[in-house]
Amino acid sequence: MTFEEFLTLPDPPSGHLKLHHGSVILVPPRWHRHAEIQQALSDLLLPRTRGKGFGTLEFPFRAQGHEAWQADVGFVREDRRAEITGYLMGAPDLVIEVLSPSNTVDEINDKMDVCMTSGCRSFWVVDPKRQMVSVTEGDVTRQYRAGASIPLPEPLEGAIPVADILDATRG
C-alpha cells in the first residue's frame, strides 16, 4: 500500500494504524505501564526542548518508502518544525522507544534502521526489563545503565541521568 492510500483508511475503533514496508498493521492500545514510562520520559525531555523544537508522545512521522509510524517519544528541531503538515517527512531527530514484552529484536532493529536512514540523529531504546538504555547515533550504539547520563543530541543541551529514566520504569 502507498502512503497516499494509507491516508484514506478510516481510524480503527481502538489503537492506531501504521504503514510498515507497505503493509498496514493495527497497533493495539498502549498498556497503562507503557504509557506511564512514555510520560515520564517526556517529562524528563520536554523541559530541555523549549525554544529548540517540538517534542511529544506518539510522534507521527513518515519515513522513506511506504512507512508511517509513531515514535513513543519524539523530538524535531525548530528548523524542521515548519515542514510538518500532517506527518513529519522523515524521522524525528530524536526517537525514544520503550520496549514492551511483545517487541522483537528484529522489529526494533528494523525501526532503528528506518529511522536512522530517514534523518534520525539519536535513537534510544529503553529496556525496563534489563534496566538499561541503548542509544544509537550514526553507526555507533552505546548502552547506558544506572550511574551514567545520556548526552542529548544538538540542539538540546545537557544530559539525562539514566537513573531518572530507570526510576520511571520501576513504577
Asked if residue 111 lies in contact with residue 97, where contact means CB atoms within 8 angstroms, the answer is yes
Asked if residue 118 lies in contact with residue 91, where contact means CB atoms within 8 angstroms, the answer is yes
Condensed to tens digits (0 to 9), the pLDDT of residues 36-67 reads 888 999 999 989 999 999 999 989 898 877 77
Which of 156, 157, 130, 129 minimizes the C-alpha distance to 143? 130
State residue 97's pLDDT score.
Answer: 94
Please determine, for residue 171, whether its predicted confidence score (pLDDT) is greater than 70: no
Instruction: Spell 108-146 as b/e; 16+ CB within 10 A means b.
Output: beebbebbbebbbbbbbbbbbeeebbbbbbeeeeeebee
Condensed to tens digits (0 to 9), the pLDDT of residues 101-129 reads 878 888 899 999 999 999 999 999 999 98
State residue 36's pLDDT score.
Answer: 87
